Structure 1
Amino acid sequence: MKKQIQRFLVIGNILVLLVCLTVFMTSSLHVLSRALYDYDQRTTMKHEPHEDIIVIEIDQESLDLLGTFPWPRDLYIPLLEQISGAKVIAFDIMFTTKSEDPSVDKDFADALAKLDNVIIPSFAEMESFFRKETRVKKDEWLKGQALYRSIPEISSVSKTAHINAALDEDGAIRRTWLMLDTPEGPIPSLAYKIAEMHGAEVSHYLTDNPQAELSIKFNQTTKDFMSIPFYMVVSGEVPPETFQDRIVLIGMAAAGSDAHPTPVDSNMYLVYAHANIVDQLLRNENISFGSDLLVICLIIAALSCSLWFTWRLRPIIGVLLVSFSSALMWSGQWYLFAKHSFYLDVMYPLAALWLGYLLNLATKTYFETKQKHFITRQFGRYLSPELVKEIANSDVELPLGGVNREISILFLDIRGFTPLSEKLAPEEIVDFLNRMFDMITIKVLANKGTIDKFIGDAAMVLFNAPLDVPHHEYRAVKTAFDIQQGMQDVQAFIREKHDVEVSIGIGINTGQVVVGNIGSYLRVDYTAIGDAVNTAARIESVSAANQILVSEETYLRTKEYFRFKEIGEKKVKGKSSAIRLYEVLDWIVAPTDRKNSGKAEKI
């Protein structure tokens, strides 16, 4: 059994490991991994944006007051005058078409030409269709097919940067490209250009990857930034000093416009996504990720822990430790993200931990049940199946001691065994006894008796212990009657084969005894002791061959169900006075069980 368990465990856990590694390498739990990553983002936000960042919103109120978008470009001229003292002015708006009145474009271009701190964005065509958002897979490199700028009058007098959005498969923005490779050469992102113009050292963010992909650390929601409606700025309601030496982003913030889901907001306007990236660059923050090798090591460690928790500890302790380990992994990865901006994907180790634990627990339960059945089956050959089952189902050690209980005791002895044993070889004697006791055991168990012990060529049987047995007196006598009936075939076989007469003498008594576990903590014997037991043994000793003798107490309780012959009083060894005995001649009927509505009980 032990080798079978070990072989099963080795094969089973190797298969679990291979499954976990396959799931990891194919990113099958990427939805859960993203959910964990987004949770870390939401719960570790600082909500303290860089004080130099201001967002001028083209909000619904501005649209109501100034008209439907797009607005005439001369409307941006007073805006530029109000915010001209800013260190960086970044539009999240493109001007790709000419105005009906060319002078409007010229006036706006002239206003831009007076400033050297304005960024008018461009976008690169990354796919075969005209979009500034691109859905990409992890670590996928793309090259822009074309670069789309604002009209020449405007783009020639302003700086430019791309506003391409990198969307994950679920449509959310979690990354950005700080640099894009285009036919016109590399072009920085809007946020990178802003941070660079502000004076931040950001060149170290550029990597060998042409896209310089950056995982965005969202530290702010839309409400955290200083936001000013567009109409308030152009109307002069906001003092120009508000924008002095600061970063000003201008973008859409009206319902239904330019918004995508992010880890911290289901619908974030992209101007605020740019603001978050600028804030990240100014703080010099960067999210790093645990390597695949580290995750694989954690998967192996988790499987090892699940194996140890299952086979070395009790189930309740194992479950608690698996739950604690899960909480430790969850909180540990959160701490790493919160304090060090390090994301460790623990979804796969967690899956390995629970999958390994459940597999090993199922294996352990299966083999323990199998072992319990094996023990019950084996020890059921020594004790009654009911007693073995009661022991197997117990969660505590069997206590020493007993209880007072009324039972019926049957003793039997094989007569003629001595002359038979003289004619048989030792192995033939054992075979004969096994044949005899097999028949006796079948009859005893059929009548719900408990075989207390076999003593050489004798046996002791209890009724109504350890479990309650209705009409135990009747069952004891019926067992004796069935055994004598079964002896007829055994006697004929022995007579024909060995020319020896064998028979059984049986004695039965009913009374109060002490029943329980008698012995020491090293060796326990479940048995009954008391005067009623001794009396039953003495009755058996005076019984003749093929005779069943019962005490008066047993007779009085079973006389309606059997035909008896009174033997009279007999003096038995160990008793100061004679006891009245009765011989069982025949069976009449089974007792009526009240629980069966007056019907005769089937025996």
Structure 2
Amino acid sequence: MKRKSLYIVLSLFIFFAVFSYFDSFEYVESKLGDAIFTRSKLKNKSEMSKVDTSNIIIIGIDDLSLEKLGQWPWPRSYHAKLVDIISKGNPAAIGIDIIFSESSNDINEDIAFAKAIEKSNKVVLSQYGIFEETSKLGQINAYDLIEPIEDLKNKASVGHINVFTDKDGVVRRELVDFKYENEDIKSFDYQIYNKYLESTKKDVDKIKVSKDKSNRRYINFVGKARDNIADITRNTDDLYTIPYKFKYIPFSAVLEDQIYPEIFKDKIVLIGPYTLGIDDYYYTPMDTQERIYGVEIHANIIQSYIDNSFKQNIPDHFNIIILLIFSLIGFILFEIKRQTKVMFVVIPCIYIYIYIAKRMYNQGVRIQLIYPIGLLISVYVVLWILNYISEIIERKRITNIFGKYVAPQVVNEIIKGGEDVLKLGGTRREITTLFVDIRGFTPLSEKAQAEEVIHILNDYLELCEESVFKNGGTVDKFIGDATMAIFNAPLDLNEHAFKAVKTAWDMKIGSQILQDTLQERFGHTVQFGIGINTGDAVVGNIGSKHRMDYTAIGDSVNTAARLESNAKGGQILMSKDTYEMVKDKIEAKYLGEIKVKGKVNGVLIYELEGIKEEYEEM
């Protein structure tokens, strides 16, 4: 069994190790990671309250602003005025999530905007790389770059705003940089963060999280900005106490002088679309059913820079080590075998692993979830299948052993209890033994053809079997034209002595039709001679390793056989031990004491004459 367990666990390890290396279940892994890492973290209010997002303010080009300022795109003078107002508050950085790749119809608009950018010296503009759809990992090269017009580009820092979604359409990672004509194109968020550091002169740790094979890092999402504001005034006190992580102001509110510029002091101000009319919104791990705007994603990325909280995948060799550990646990589970006990090991192991994964995630490291957990669950499933197959084999084995001895319902009870019920190998217990033989069978066989003799014998033995099964007994064996049955084995049987006596009476009544048929056909008939005794016996599988029978042996069994040999045709004899247990339910005649072979003392016997009417249906 250990060798088989080793092969199974080793096969599962290789299977999951290969899929882990190639991240074949990336979709499932990502969804599970979103639920455990991101959404569970956002639900933890105490944990999220520790995240300080007060350094970032979002100014949205929203429906309210479009209603007040007119149809998009707006004149560049609006953007120039916005930059001037924000700059009065001395912000740390201003990031504009809009690409001004074409000149305005009015050149003065571009000149005014360029002057506002130059005067501020805090502005980061956007550019966008165009990639081949089949770009390979580690080869992130753009073949084209959409940039701001020269007059604007020369007055500001510039960073790319490319957002890449995973296969399921969810944004989880930031593209840190890419190559264009041998030039490193840094991200919009990285350039804003650098502006922030230059302006505030903060001494911060270098970003420690390495990039993955495709130059990306996992974003530590902390929240979004608020939804559209119906109406605000310059004196609105609760504008910045919204139940979201990032402060939000409509574009029009700033332009209409409803906001004090002082609130922008030392802040990172992000300006970008905040309406469905401008196609810039994505699904994120925070909520895969509701999309957020691109400017909110930039806010989360910049917050990850500020907190140095980007996440990175654990190296591949550590994933293999984790799978090895889970394989070892799986091997131990195979030795436990019992399904319920295995479940009580598997579930805590999964919970502990998820807890460790969360702790490591908080330290900046993502470990794989689906592959180790999948390996452990696979071990459980394989064990369940093996146990199920084993149960079928055991059921078949028990059926083969007892199917010919006991009634089908008794076999089912034995199967339910399995070895605990059977206690194979021999156990001492009180049983009632019944022997029945056919009197007059030899003379009849001389008058009938061989085929007819077999048919007659089968009819009688079938009657015996049906009577035994009807009363919950066990057919031990057929010995020529004789039958041995036991009651109260292999299962406990209430009132087993009475059930044996009732069986004998059913045989006698049932044989009447057979006797009449034989008398009419052959001019000769047969009758049962039956002996019944109650007492202790050894019951179990008795024999050699090559030939075993389920049977009972002991003095009480021998006594029953001796009573049967003394019974005349149509007579049912029982011992005093049996009689004392059933005397209130039957009609019987005391016959005295007889000597039986193998016993020094005589045996007191009674002849059964009937079952009391009220007990006939028991």
Query: Do the two structures share a fold, i.e. TM-score over 0.5?
Result: yes
Q: 1:285 to 1:444 in 2, by over 3 A?
A: same
Match of 1:327 in 2: 351
Residues 498-552 of structure 1 deviation map (CA, whole Å, 9 limit, x = unaligned): xxxxxx9984146xx75787699xxx9868998xx89855543446xxx646237
Write the letter of the residue equivalent to 2:268: I
Match of 2:255 in 1: 234
Does residue 120 in structure 1 map to residue 125 in structure 2? yes
Measure the CA separation in 1 of the matches of 2:353 and 2:363: 16
Match of 2:276 in 1: 255
**Structure 2 counterparts to residues 74-473 of structure 1, below 5 A:** 74-84=77-87, 85-127=90-132, 139-183=137-181, 185-199=183-197, 204=207, 212-222=215-225, 223-257=244-278, 258-265=280-287, 266-337=290-361, 339-374=362-397, 377-378=400-401, 390-394=413-417, 396=420, 409-410=434-435, 445=465, 448=468, 450-451=474-475, 460-462=484-486, 472-473=503-504
SS of the aligned residue for 1:98 comes to: coil
Equivalent residues of 1:123, 1:162 under 8 A apart: yes
Equivalent residues of 2:141, 2:178 under 8 A apart: yes
Equivalent residues of 2:57, 2:269 under 8 A apart: yes
SS of the aligned residue for 2:173 comes to: strand
Q: 1:125 to 1:315 in 2, by over 3 A?
A: closer
Which shifted more, 466-475 or 252-261? 466-475
Match of 2:240 in 1: none
SS of the aligned residue for 2:275 comes to: coil
Match of 2:41 in 1: 44
Does residue 30 in structure 1 map to residue 26 in structure 2? yes
Q: Tell me how far 1:306 sits from its aligned partner.
A: 3.5
Equivalent residues of 1:83, 1:240 under 8 A apart: yes
RMSD: 4.7
Equivalent residues of 1:539, 1:550 under 8 A apart: no
SS of the aligned residue for 1:260 comes to: strand
Measure the CA separation in 2 of the matches of 1:224 and 1:578: 96
Residues 13-45 of structure 1 deviation map (CA, whole Å, 9 limit, x = unaligned): 444444434443453322211112222122224
Write the letter of the residue equivalent to 1:168: D
Match of 1:489 in 2: none
Q: TM-score if structure 1 supplies the norm length?
A: 0.70
Measure the CA separation in 2 of the matches of 1:73 and 1:306: 65
Q: 1:472 to 1:464 in 2, by over 3 A?
A: farther
Q: 1:272 to 1:570 in 2, by over 3 A?
A: closer
Write the letter of the residue equivalent to 2:348: F
Measure the CA separation in 2 of the matches of 1:440 and 1:10: 55
Q: 1:95 to 1:440 in 2, by over 3 A?
A: same
SS of the aligned residue for 2:98 comes to: coil
Q: Tell me how far 1:113 sits from its aligned partner.
A: 2.3
SS of the aligned residue for 1:71 comes to: coil
Q: 1:387 to 1:55 in 2, by over 3 A?
A: closer
Measure the CA separation in 2 of the matches of 1:463 and 1:208: 77
Q: Tell me how far 1:213 sits from its aligned partner.
A: 2.2
Measure the CA separation in 2 of the matches of 1:298 and 1:25: 13
Measure the CA separation in 1 of the matches of 2:92 and 2:110: 24
Measure the CA separation in 2 of the matches of 1:474 and 1:463: 15
Number of residue equivalences: 509
Q: 1:367 to 1:411 in 2, by over 3 A?
A: same
Please, which of 62, 72, 77 is the counterpart of residue 75 of structure 2?
72
Measure the CA separation in 1 of the matches of 2:608 and 2:161: 110
Residues 348-402 of structure 1 deviation map (CA, whole Å, 9 limit, x = unaligned): 1222212222112211332243245335535778999886764443264579897
Write the letter of the residue equivalent to 1:275: A
Equivalent residues of 1:178, 1:213 under 8 A apart: yes
Equivalent residues of 1:463, 1:476 under 8 A apart: no
Measure the CA separation in 2 of the matches of 1:344 and 1:191: 26
Q: 1:369 to 1:340 in 2, by over 3 A?
A: same
Write the letter of the residue equivalent to 1:242: I
Measure the CA separation in 2 of the matches of 1:31 and 1:208: 20
Equivalent residues of 2:537, 2:553 under 8 A apart: yes
Q: 1:163 to 1:507 in 2, by over 3 A?
A: same
Q: Tell me how far 1:287 sits from its aligned partner.
A: 0.8
Equivalent residues of 1:515, 1:527 under 8 A apart: no
Which shifted more, 225-234 or 199-208? 199-208
Q: 1:170 to 1:136 in 2, by over 3 A?
A: farther
Residues 93-116 of structure 1 deviation map (CA, whole Å, 9 limit, x = unaligned): 121222222122222222222232
Q: Tell me how far 1:412 sits from its aligned partner.
A: 6.0
Write the letter of the residue equivalent to 1:256: G
Match of 1:418 in 2: none
Match of 2:598 in 1: none
Write the letter of the residue equivalent to 1:91: I
Please, which of 36, 58, 74 is the counterpart of residue 55 of structure 1?
58
Q: Tell me how far 1:151 sits from its aligned partner.
A: 1.5
Q: Tell me how far 1:64 sits from its aligned partner.
A: 0.7
Write the letter of the residue equivalent to 2:23: S
Write the letter of the residue equivalent to 2:223: Q
Equivalent residues of 2:140, 2:214 under 8 A apart: yes
Write the letter of the residue equivalent to 2:64: E
Which shifted more, 394-403 or 45-54? 394-403
Write the letter of the residue equivalent to 1:88: A
SS of the aligned residue for 2:304 comes to: helix
